[in-house]
Amino acid sequence: MRFLLTVRDKLSRFYGKYDTAIRLLFKFAAAFLIFLSIRAAFGQTTAIDHPALLLVLAAVCMLLPSNAIILVASGLVLVHFYGISLEAALVGGGILVIELLVYFSLAPQSAWPLLLTALALGGNMGCVPAVLFGLLGGPLGAVGVAFGTLGGYLIRIVEENGANLHSTAAEAAEAMVQKAAQLIQAVITNREMLVMTAALAAVLLTVYFIRIQAIKYAWMIAAAAGCAVYLAVRIAGAAVFGVPAGALQIAGEILVSLLVGWIAQTMLFHLDYKKTQTVRFEDDEYYYYVKAVPKKKLHRKKRRRRAEGR
């Protein structure tokens, strides 16, 4: 524990000195990883896949608000959709635009929950950002998590089905309509997408509403409760809708989520409940009772100065 407190103290002082540079580098790295994940999801199909171009786009996004990463990533996805087929571009692009319009109208400040959820889904770790932003953010983060999940699954569904559409119509226009209808059907009937969206949004809200309670070890209780909700929804989804739920995958997600929650609590909300004090004071109208819980801090030993000989 002392080691983690030492690390926290050093990181806090380091961030205090270089906060602007750290934020810019984090945005650059996150943007570049997201663009690479889009490239990996579709394969190298267009000229925009060149790593040098992705580096330039990430550098531009580094200097802009976080929502710029969402817009640039959406543009890359639209180009990839068009590279698959015209129907994929029309259907996938239309759904993506609707998602963006709803997101920007409801919770435009939830860019990081959206981006990191979409990124984590690529590694089958969607529960991790839901727990993390439930601890660090507010309830509107559930909107970002939900749309990040929808966007991640939209890419997966269009990539898997967009190039395999078939039509029996003789005319080109009618064939296009039939293919577009098939793709829309594949998107809106994907039960795994719906179950995961509901599960991750429920996890974030559960973690948030327990975390703000005035109880001991609120953060870890909140993280554990969120993981329990995730497990329950995934089991229910498998039993009711037949959505695949790998036991090892879910167990790995839960373990990593709990670890991330524990690290977040240690770094940001590490309290010493053994030294809790209740303070009472009054004014002309009321008595006030305040419970004070001290933070755990690293106590540095003061070096004694050697007395200089006269």
Give yes or no for residue 86 having a pLDDT over 90: no
Confidence label for 310 from pLDDT (cuts 50, 70 and 90): very low
- The DSSP result for 68-90, as a single string, is HHHHHHHHHHHHHHHHH-HHHHH
d(CA 230, CA 209): 15
* Terminal-to-terminal C-alpha distance of the chain: 44
Average pLDDT score over the chain: 87
What integer pLDDT is reported at residue 305 of this predicted model? 47
Confidence label for 118 from pLDDT (cuts 50, 70 and 90): very high
Which residues, in sequence order, are CB contacts of 119 under 8 Å at separation 6+? 30, 33, 34, 37
d(CA 60, CA 52): 13
More reliable by pLDDT, 172 or 148: 148
Average pLDDT over residues 195-212: 96
Give yes or no for residue 144 having a pLDDT over 60: yes
Average pLDDT over residues 123-129: 94
Give yes or no for residue 277 having a pLDDT over 80: no
Per-residue pLDDT tens for 225-267?
A: 999 999 999 999 999 999 988 899 999 999 999 999 998 888 8
What integer pLDDT is reported at residue 78 of this predicted model? 92
Tokens (6 digits) for 90: 């029309």
| Region of poorest pLDDT, from 76-90, 92-106, 271-285 | 271-285
Contact 111, 192 (CB under 8 A): no
- Local structure of residue 49 (DSSP, 8 states): G
pTM: 0.86
Q: Which of 250, 153, 225, 144 is nearest to 194 (CA)?
A: 153
Helix (H, G, I), strand (E, B) or coil at 79: helix
d(CA 257, CA 228): 11
